Structure 1
Amino acid sequence: MRLLLVEDSIRLRDLLTERIRGAGWMLDAVGTIAAATEASRSILYDLVLIDLGLPDGDGKSLIRSLRAQGSSVPILVLTARGSIDDRVDALDCGADDFLMKPFNHIEFLARCRALLRRSGPHRAERIELGRLEFDPASGSVRVGGAIVPISPRERSILELLLRHSDRVVPKERIEIALSAFGEEISTNAVELAISRLRKRLEPVGAGIAIETVRGAGYLLREVKAHA
């Protein structure tokens, strides 16, 4: 799952970034409507979080723009504006939910999970391959019913590979997934992340294998148990 946060307060943006990435979701965080518009042109987000008071305009104009472009991405408004009119206006222009500042971060994450579950059945359904089960909404990874501890970076790669199982995923696409964590990507970052992911999954008998396709990328496939 990849989220877009549009919030001009650096302090709140940093705090929410920590919470969101801690929940295992990928995030792009920007502070203006212009930056959000540019990001949404090239990336398909699962949830957009928008503050209404932005330095280059009202967040409602961004919501209207997204809806005018045909986007059905769930939108959660985060704002200090508390009047009924503000809430009604935000919902009428296309927002799906509204959260008043200051808010409890446990409730914030719960609202995000709820919207992610409604973001499209094909994206929110659990993915199963081999003995592994992945829940995109919660980010949980299980093998034989037991939770497998996995880092957010590894989880983002696993989800990408699972959604394209039995197909080669180019290395460049994995680099884009890693970049959502706001860290500079080193030349061997993908190889290191894939290596760590293999070490997580192989000992627990997940029944899947990540193959390196030289010059192309990586392929995830199911490994049948021998009789």
Structure 2
Amino acid sequence: MPKQEKNHVELIKAWTLSPVVTMGSSVRAKGILQEIQARLPAIFRKAISLDGIDLVLAMPADEKAAFNAAATVVSKTLDEAPSLPVIPREIEDILGMKTSERHRWLADGRLPSAGTRTVRLAGRARQITFHVFEPKAVDDLLNRGSVEEWRVEDAEAKAEKRMKAAYQAKLKRLSKKKKRSKKADNGVNDPAPGLQGWEDFDIDGLLR
């Protein structure tokens, strides 16, 4: 840090994010930082930063009142952090799942939703709505290794589905073959179906 900037920034305080808060996820840690920044006045949002697992608040000495107010916001947010909803990108990082898996498991009920949140994208008029998740439920899924279990279940279900499809295809082929065979047999037993005068033709012995 340049000497001039070092002299300018004199008020510094740091907080270490615990595993209970981050759940071992750097994405979750960044999400906590963004939550804190959203609660601070816009002019001071850049005063708080994330250095690894440490949140660092730094302001000039002449901003002592603002510094103390911001420090209170940080401390309060960290107290609430263990219960803050887990958003999609965070749960994907915590549980090591793909976006497609999150959608599938959410749809079939294995991944319990804690409700939805609607936000406006920065600099845009469009809003987006997404599901959020209860931290305790996410932590339970992590501890039980649920994601790996679900992947095994999905693989087994997929294999079973392929077997059923192959069996149905086989039945369909056999049905078509049986119909063709029956049609061929009918043709042999009745060589001239619908031909008038066949009986007389046969009696005259013209076929002998």
- Structure ranking higher in helix proportion: 2
Whether the TM-score (by the shorter chain) exceeds 0.5 is no
- Structure ranking higher in strand proportion: 1
Normalising by the residue count of structure 1, what TM-score does the alignment of the two structures yield?
0.26
